[in-house]
Structure 1
């Protein structure tokens, strides 16, 4: 409370600011010709513009202080510099031509640097690139990032896996706040649409220093789309068709920014039928998703703020066995209906050489599950079945489905309904730069309540309170950059049945980045992380229908605590990039399910127990764009992870080793801009190192291809993309598919056609 009062008093102090203007010109370093349409962006201020045809830019109403400016455009090396505002002269910036892709500013780490300047290795991918590769959902799209996979239940439900760690060990951030949507459930996905998401960042390893509990294994950070550039307005409509599921996604968006105020709106509707394999459709993998995002922002010389809202409603079929064979899109029983509301505000107060950042979030999650035994019109069902009895089995299945669909809204009551309400806060003070030191101190916290309304009780009513305090510094030496920090966290869990637990943890991290030679960069990061046991692990006492297990919680579980060493080497020249990443992760008191040899309510009983574990592996790859064929790209990456308990048993849900090889071309013509085409072969190896109750899976190869680009239609841009996945219609089972125990294949051949028209 004293801290909050101090902050309020601090904000109340009147400060006088000058109305500063920043001007500059960008030119080619080799020809000295001006470069037009360069993106000029200040990540700390979230403010930017484009250069005009003569390479000039101008930004008004700039606060005093030291700020990083990033200059980026296709065909030139991304460059950054720190300027001290006010600047009396016009900046002169020279960009170096290159065939290497543009670098992005990393938002998930606190100092907002380019990846080449970052001490911690962070993976960054734009959602547009993930979609061009044919991703059906966001959970599927992130699997193209080395070291990242997804535990799936059909096509709609996916949970991120980072280097073998998943569930509550991976923290998800959206709109700048931590996403809390009952992710402890195994039959529960992200609950976030890729609509309105600009890019994805992945921290592979303990990030508890920055984010607290549940970041033991890493962070999936979703960056929302930026507001329009100052004094501009843009809009677009888009649509995508998926041949395999006869599905579609349609959406539209608009955004506008003035001198101080800005706004954006975006909505989408997605529907898919059951996905198809070579021999059958996988019954009840159908789903429907509605998503709406909105944002309002204000920016003045000394203050900026933005408010964002996202509502996502999904109806997701839960597959159990192969049955009904049709292309209807309304889910059958059992199915989930999940509504997720995310409110967030992000504000910054700028002082002469420092700033105060305040992020607030409120997440309201309503999860309902419907099952057969909770149908309240059984007599009507029997009458319906007799009236429409047919000899043909497919027709019987179809009538059964129509009966279910007919009663979904009016006649069904949820077997399970839980509402999770979460308020979280994140306050950071960026201290004035002292010589070589950039330093941030802050507090973070969360208040969460879980309440049951359905007939079944999966997770009891409970309250969770988090509080954490942290400090981190980035130190710039002549040849080495160092980042270090420490943090303390406390989590209190109070359960209605009388369980009250306190969990505490100190964590720290230190990292080093140095250029061994002009072309070789090395990064070494050492970090600890922790995770408090979740409500399911502490309190479960019942049959989990999704996995057909009777799960028994353990109220005496301790924190999971880990220590990871991560080494990354990169070689980068004008036409070749190489990377080698290795990690060794020791996890003390790893929590997992173990069968106890009994059967309860017809299901095998499993206890939540703990044992020390270790995970190790890494990623290796290269990117070649040979001279003079800068438009031709060869990319290859290999990833591996092994997870074992100290008793010698393998950990469950560890992804199989895989290799991805891609040939890609990029080109422009007079009428076709930003053109591309690619062919990709994904080779996944056999996974025999399985957990105690897992089954092994065979290896397989998947072939994909695609092309696209932008044309002018009525003086506006129309972007077209066409791609095909699993072109050979291979029948395969991914090791992280929760349908593998029933021998159900993953999705077959799928062609995707996408259109986006800018207005």
Structure 2
């Protein structure tokens, strides 16, 4: 607490600066010189404005230094430049934007230098939650599977965990509000713990990101960008509601944002409820129902020398654990067994701006409480009602507390070099309260130090970096030493040195090539090191291995992108070599009617890539034809046997029609899509092959503009042919339970 008080006093002490750098100007179209309503934004400062209807804009209180500014508007090519501000400068800019059929480019936040995607050395995929809403996805985990190379391990529709190029769980790190989301992600049987309401966009780094994020980013990063604050001196609000026909579900959220010159506030609350989902065969999957409440709030104080942002997110999920197609019901309260999961995320980010340099300090505190409730005998009453009546204690209760910090110093730019140095770390405790023990009480400590630099020329960008990490894990013994399920105490230390190097080259005005080489690591998690008992969510008796070593990988990525006024084409390829890959394998024994699985290690490799095409023939800029194909293969090097949970090859084709405005109606769109998933015969020894299937989807929507109020209406449908299918990554596959059938989604949003 003393530390926070000192930081607060320091913040207050430096806010009396008198620098008043200003930028102003106009935004016009290159085609007809007409003014444009455009976004003008400083990514590093997170400060910007929207030009007026006559194209004029003005931004004040800009600190001394050199910053990138981005000008963007729907239907126009984004433009960025670096501008130096000093000594109360008043900069005048008259910007001319060229029309483009390509979607408006956004700034990538998950990489350190906050570049537009085309300027980034590392290829990062980005999708807005507004686009997810158009597609009619039920959850955030389901929505991101529309990104090529991203899949999801699912348990019904309420539980999903991201898979990036065949790697998942602790190999994929999730960031929210700029801090690590630690929610016992080693388990397949619970979801992200974040609702999409209050999330602006999702960025996905496909490949080792240990240089930027340390352990657990060996397979990639899922970066959730929080909702932006309102523009200066404005007040905004909105109400959103969706209905899902398959689950008779509802999703409702309401938000409000207010902003003055220095202070900004926002808040958003959401409630989601779903009944059991219905398969293509017309049967409800018993206890696949779930409910979720989510609250987000934030405040920011900003001057020309300081930006201080405090955010909070609380999420409670009650999720049924489906096991069979049994009782047919539309009840929305989970039955036994079910989970109750609470997530608290507090983040505090302070950015200090000096002349030509800056200091970024992020601290985060997360509390994840996971409870599982079970009953031996059958109960007809919903589980929540029974708990309220009889106060049944949880069979499993784990509380994970994580304090994280991330300090980065942006050095003064030297020539064309931008350089960042920093330290990161976490202090984490896990405590058990229930009768069952999945992992023991433990303390984990991380510390990492890094340096990365970016070299920019007109047609060439180079980025490189190095990092060193230390992780310490100490756990208590669990259960009686005479018990066969006794877990001894553990004291292990892990360390790793990692590096990354990447080049982006503009081969021509239309053709861009990227090559990235990176290493990553992951220290074994507690489940892998200490398990000794039945993992109820997987119906396995798991035995950990306290002698496991770091997973260490090296990945090579190559990508080519071509774009002109008529079409875009991309091709990505990767090869990922992993030393000491950790996996579970049956040892042939049976304990308590459960097969016994051991955690073992062997070298592995994953390889594959993605291809994509986007046709937008000029002058028919309203027409979009998109196609993408993704492939990944994973094998053990020793015997070339297949790794488990590798996604099947997938081909997606979409036809979209978009119009910017027609009288009072704007952002008009419609689409029809076909997703074809191929047979997965490259299964591991304890998996079964999965048949291929094709799913048809469609949607239409638009926004009615009533001056100060906007009404958005959308209708979308997934699996329109009511296909009966089973995903290879479904955890219900072993029970022969199909995935969700036809689902029609109605969405309405009022913004004011």
- If the TM-score is normalised by the length of the shorter chain, which range does it land in? over 0.9
Matches within 5 A, 1:72-83: 72-83=72-83
CA distance in 2, matches of 1:308, 1:598: 49
Matches within 5 A, 1:495-514: 495-497=475-477, 498-514=489-505
Matches within 5 A, 1:20-35: 20-35=21-36
2:512 corresponds in structure 1 to: 521
CA distance in 2, matches of 1:74, 1:714: 19
Matches within 5 A, 1:127-138: 127-138=129-140
* Counterpart secondary structure, 2:380: helix
By how many angstroms is 1:478 displaced? Answer: 4.3
1:294 is aligned to 2:286 = no
Matches within 5 A, 1:352-363: 352-363=355-366
1:325 is aligned to 2:337 = no
CA distance in 1, matches of 2:382, 2:557: 55
One of 144, 147, 160 as aligned partner of 1:145: 147
1:278 is aligned to 2:280 = yes
User: CA 1:601–1:48 in structure 2 vs 1: closer, same or farther (change >3 Å)?
Assistant: same
**C-alpha distance after superposition, 1:463-498 (max 9, x if no partner):** 000000000000113432100000000000001122
8 A contact 2:203–2:223 mirrored in 1? yes
CA distance in 2, matches of 1:627, 1:96: 14
CA distance in 2, matches of 1:194, 1:401: 33
**C-alpha distance after superposition, 1:701-728 (max 9, x if no partner):** 0000000000135851001110000000
One of 433, 450, 456 as aligned partner of 1:476: 456
One of 146, 155, 158 as aligned partner of 1:156: 158
Matches within 5 A, 1:50-65: 50-65=50-65
CA distance in 1, matches of 2:600, 2:374: 30
User: CA 1:402–1:714 in structure 2 vs 1: closer, same or farther (change >3 Å)?
Assistant: farther
1:443 is aligned to 2:423 = yes
CA distance in 1, matches of 2:334, 2:380: 9
Aligned structure 1 segments of 4 or more residues deviating by more than 3 angstroms: 6-17, 86-89, 403-406, 712-715
1:396 corresponds in structure 2 to: none
1:757 corresponds in structure 2 to: 750
One of 167, 170, 180 as aligned partner of 2:169: 167
By how many angstroms is 1:89 displaced? Answer: 3.9
CA distance in 2, matches of 1:249, 1:620: 34
1:740 is aligned to 2:723 = no
* Counterpart secondary structure, 2:188: coil
**What is the number of equivalent residue pairs in this alignment?**
732
**C-alpha distance after superposition, 1:563-595 (max 9, x if no partner):** 000000000101210000000000000000011
8 A contact 2:334–2:382 mirrored in 1? no
CA distance in 2, matches of 1:493, 1:179: 18
1:543 is aligned to 2:523 = no
**C-alpha distance after superposition, 1:253-275 (max 9, x if no partner):** 00000010010000010000000
* Counterpart secondary structure, 2:381: helix
2:557 corresponds in structure 1 to: 566
2:223 corresponds in structure 1 to: 221
CA distance in 1, matches of 2:327, 2:545: 39
By how many angstroms is 1:278 displaced? Answer: 2.6
2:66 corresponds in structure 1 to: 66
8 A contact 1:100–1:575 mirrored in 2? no
* Counterpart secondary structure, 1:90: strand
Matches within 5 A, 1:264-663: 264-279=266-281, 280-373=283-376, 400-402=379-381, 404-411=383-390, 412-497=392-477, 498-646=489-637, 647-663=639-655
Q: Which runs of 5+ in 1 are unaligned?
A: 382-399
Is the deviation greater in 276-285 or in 550-559?
276-285
User: CA 1:353–1:715 in structure 2 vs 1: closer, same or farther (change >3 Å)?
Assistant: closer
1:395 corresponds in structure 2 to: none
1:46 corresponds in structure 2 to: 46
2:688 corresponds in structure 1 to: 695
Is the deviation greater in 401-410 or in 253-262?
401-410
CA distance in 2, matches of 1:126, 1:198: 6
User: CA 1:673–1:16 in structure 2 vs 1: closer, same or farther (change >3 Å)?
Assistant: closer
CA distance in 2, matches of 1:9, 1:320: 55
1:116 corresponds in structure 2 to: 118
One of 680, 683, 689 as aligned partner of 2:673: 680
* Counterpart secondary structure, 2:685: coil
Is the deviation greater in 351-360 or in 19-28?
19-28
1:102 corresponds in structure 2 to: 104
* Counterpart secondary structure, 1:408: helix
Please report the TM-score for the alignment, with normalisation by the length of structure 1.
0.94
* Counterpart secondary structure, 1:141: helix
CA distance in 2, matches of 1:514, 1:690: 38
Please report the TM-score for the alignment, with normalisation by the length of structure 2.
0.95
8 A contact 2:333–2:382 mirrored in 1? no
2:193 corresponds in structure 1 to: 191
Q: Which runs of 5+ in 2 are unaligned?
A: 478-488
**C-alpha distance after superposition, 1:632-690 (max 9, x if no partner):** 10000000000000121100000000100000001232132110000000000000001
